[in-house]
Amino acid sequence: MKKSHARERRMRRLEGRVAMVTGGANGIGRGCAIRLMSEGAALAIIDREEDTLADLTAEVEAAGGSIFSRAADCTDSDAARAFVAEAESRFGKVDVLINNVGQGARERKSKFLDSDEDVWRFVIELNLFTTMRFSRLVGPGMVARGHGRILNMASEAFLTGPVGSHDYAAAKGGVIGFTRSVARELAPHGVTVNALLPGPIMTRALATSTDPVVHETMASVPVGFVGEPEDIAAMAALLASDEGRFITGQSVVVNGGRWWL
Give the tens place of pLDDT for each residue, 78-105.
999 999 999 999 999 999 999 999 999 9
What residues have CB less than 8 Å from 37, skipping those under 6 apart? 19, 43, 60, 63, 65, 67
Looking at the predicted structure, is the pLDDT value of residue 183 above 50?
Answer: yes
Burial, 9: exposed, middle or buried (Cβ in 10 Å; 0-12, 13-18, 19+)?
exposed
Mean pLDDT of the 47-74 span? 98
Would 43 be classed as within a structural domain? yes
Quick one: average pLDDT of 40-69? Answer: 98
Predicted confidence at residue 260, as pLDDT, reads 82
Looking at residue 72, its pLDDT comes to 98
Assess if residue 113 is contained within a domain: yes
Asked if residue 254 has pLDDT above 80, the reply is yes
Q: Quickly state the pLDDT bin for 261 (edges 50, 70, 90).
A: confident
What Cα–Cα distance (Å) separates residue 185 from each residue in 53, 102, 125, 132, 138? 34, 24, 23, 14, 15
Residue 5 placed within a domain: no
Confidence bin at 8 (pLDDT 50/70/90): low
Q: Please report which confidence band the pLDDT of residue 217 belongs to, taking 50, 70 and 90 as the band edges.
A: confident
Q: What does the alpha-carbon distance between residue 250 and residue 259 come to, in Å, rounded to a whole number?
A: 16
Instruction: Tell me whether residue 9 is in a domain.
Output: no
Tell me the pLDDT band of 19, cut-offs 50, 70 and 90. very high
Q: What CATH code is carried by the domain that includes residue 89?
A: 3.40.50.720
Quote the pLDDT of residue 6.
47
Predicted confidence at residue 255, as pLDDT, reads 93
Contact present, 248 and 183 (Cβ < 8 Å): yes
Tell me, yes or no, whether 261 lies in a domain. no
Confidence at residue 2, expressed as pLDDT on a 0 to 100 scale: 52
Domain count of the chain? 1
d(CA 220, CA 50): 35
Q: How many CB atoms lie within 10 A of CB 144?
A: 11
* pLDDT value of position 11: 76
Residue 1 lies in a domain: no
- Enter the pTM of the model: 0.93
pLDDT band at 218 (very low <50, low <70, confident <90, very high): confident
- Residue 137 belongs to a domain: yes
Q: What mean pLDDT do residues 115-122 have?
A: 98
C-alpha–C-alpha distance, residues 24 and 236, integer Å: 13
How far apart, in whole angstroms, are the C-alpha atoms of residue 161 and residue 92? 41
3 is a domain residue: no
Indicate whether 1 pLDDT > 50.
no
- CA dist., res. 93 & res. 41, Å (int): 12
Say what the pLDDT of residue 216 is. 77
Average pLDDT value for the chain: 93
| pLDDT mean over 134-148 | 98
Whole domain around residue 213: which residue ranges? 14-254
Please list the active-site residues.
168
What is 178-226 written as a DSSP string?
HHHHHHHHHGGGTEEEEEEEE-SB--HHHHH---HHHHHHHTT-TTSS-
